[in-house]
């Protein structure tokens, strides 16, 4: 079993998709390109985005 076949099977693409291997391969390639287009942080424990914090209004400091 190839990686593509394993991915298709894991996604539930069984008997109804026989004969459509080219479409499955294209979808897998697209998903791989999409996943690779997002930058990965150097530190895997880092948040992908800083937590949102509401700034204090000007003139009110502690």
Q: For 14-39, how does the pLDDT look when each residue is reduced to its tens digit (9 = 90+)?
A: 676 778 888 878 888 898 898 888 77
Over 60: is that where the pLDDT of 47 sits? yes
H or E element at residue 33:
helix 21-36
- The span from the CA of 54 to the CA of 9, in Å, is 46
Nearest 5°: the CA angle 42, 48, 49 is 130
The residue with greater pLDDT, 7 or 35, is 35
Give the pLDDT confidence score for residue 52 in this predicted structure: 73
């Amino acid at each position: 079993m190839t990686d593509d076949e394993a991915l298709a099977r894991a996604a539930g693409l069984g008997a109804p998709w026989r004969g459509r291997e080219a479409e499955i391969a294209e979808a897998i390639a697209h998903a791989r390109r999409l996943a690779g287009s997002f930058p990965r942080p150097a530190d895997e424990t880092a948040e992908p985005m800083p937590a949102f914090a509401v700034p204090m209004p000007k003139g009110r400091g502690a």
